[in-house]
Chain A
Amino acid sequence: MALQSRGAPSAAAAEPDEVTLREFTASDAEAFMSWASDPRVARFQRRDAFTHVDQARRYITDHVLPHPWYRAICLVGSDGVVGRPWVGPRRRLEAVADVENPASQRVLEKAGFVRDSVLRKYIMLKGRPRDMVMFSIVVHTDRRRQQNEPRGVRRQALIY
């Protein structure tokens, strides 16, 4: 979980009142490293923890900047980045979280996602097939969270 991995005890202990989202820039590479290099965060990611800031720079350039919708999470009152979700304006938004990752499952439930089911041996994570819990929000049916008008049908996020 990006917020918990930030390291500052006060940020981990108390829930922030508000976060803002903004686009990433290349200069966010060091901030990106604060979670991308943390093995606790990388545990449920497909890729291993980054070991050098150049990896973050390359990832931002090759993957984040060209992405249709990839946002930095910033705590209100700071311009620094603490994490990054990626979602898109769509009819159906879905997310999968590892069955052994209850923290991320709680994040999704609190955000209004509906728990669909467990999909057995759904995704390869670090060389092993993992059971994943599928969550979804359907725009116009569930409580809306997106500001943008939906385009297209479905977008999937992998929640770490």
Chain B
Amino acid sequence: METVTLRPFSLADADAMMTWASDPVVTAFMTWDPYTSREPLLAFISDTVLPHPWFRAICLDAGGAPVGAVSVTPTDDRCRAELGVVVARAHWGKGVATAALKRAVAAVFGDLDGVERVEALVDGENAASQRALEKAGFTREAVLRSYCMVKDRLRDMVVYSFISTDPLVK
């Protein structure tokens, strides 16, 4: 099982981010399409990542380049925030996402005032992400049928949640 650290992003991380953001296998379950050039990714980092209330780079060692990202975005309901996680394909199958999720839920309730529920919506066919969430202590709550369109296809989404009072998994 990998150990990871989480840190804020900077513009200098753009090349590392491009590794996963341009990979169509990584983005298969995402609502967004893979990036094909650097400028839109720099704009994404400037406009969305840097001002974001909680957007972290996943690093395998403290000084290293990021291998993925985890974000927790507050919603209009102050108690509820949505989590997203992405890991570069070269680091799949090693528990990186699971470790990042454990770190995220250990930190985020202290960082985001008023948030008591972190939820993740996962594609019904994304078994790997579902396993990572379960190992990190998330509760599978429901399957939401025909919930949203992802890349022009109607998808069932599974809702996972972690409540501020849930026990942290070591």
Give me the interface of A with B, judged by CB distance under 8 Å.
91-92, 94, 116-124, 129, 134, 136, 138, 141, 153-154
> A116, B144: Cβ atoms under 8 Å?
yes
Which residue of the partner chain A has the closest CB to B161?
Answer: A120
Which residue of the partner chain B has the closest CB to A142?
Answer: B145
> B117, A122: Cβ atoms under 8 Å?
yes
> A134, B80: Cβ atoms under 8 Å?
no
- Choose one: B78, B119, B148, B159; the contact of A154 (CB below 8 Å): B148
Known A-B contacts: A91-B146, A124-B79, A136-B145. Give 4 more (CB < 8 A): A91-B154, A119-B141, A119-B161, A122-B117
Number of interface residues of B (CB under 8 A): 21
When chains A and B are docked, how far (Å) is the Cα of A119 from the Cα of B145?
15
CB of B13 closer than 8 Å to a CB of A? no
> A116, B149: Cβ atoms under 8 Å?
no
When chains A and B are docked, how far (Å) is the Cα of A119 from the Cα of B142?
8
Give me the interface of B with A, judged by CB distance under 8 Å.
77-80, 116-117, 119, 139, 141-149, 154, 159, 161, 163
When chains A and B are docked, how far (Å) is the Cα of A122 from the Cα of B161?
10
> B79, A121: Cβ atoms under 8 Å?
yes
B31 to chain A, nearest CB (A): 12
Contacts of B161 in A (CB 8 A): 119-121
> B79, A123: Cβ atoms under 8 Å?
yes
B120 to chain A, nearest CB (A): 12
Contacts of B147 in A (CB 8 A): 92, 153-154
When chains A and B are docked, how far (Å) is the Cα of A141 from the Cα of B149?
17
> A121, B163: Cβ atoms under 8 Å?
yes
- Choose one: A91, A123, A141; the contact of B77 (CB below 8 Å): A123
> B154, A94: Cβ atoms under 8 Å?
no
Contacts of A120 in B (CB 8 A): 117, 139, 141, 161, 163
Contacts of A117 in B (CB 8 A): 141-142, 159
A119 to chain B, nearest CB (A): 6
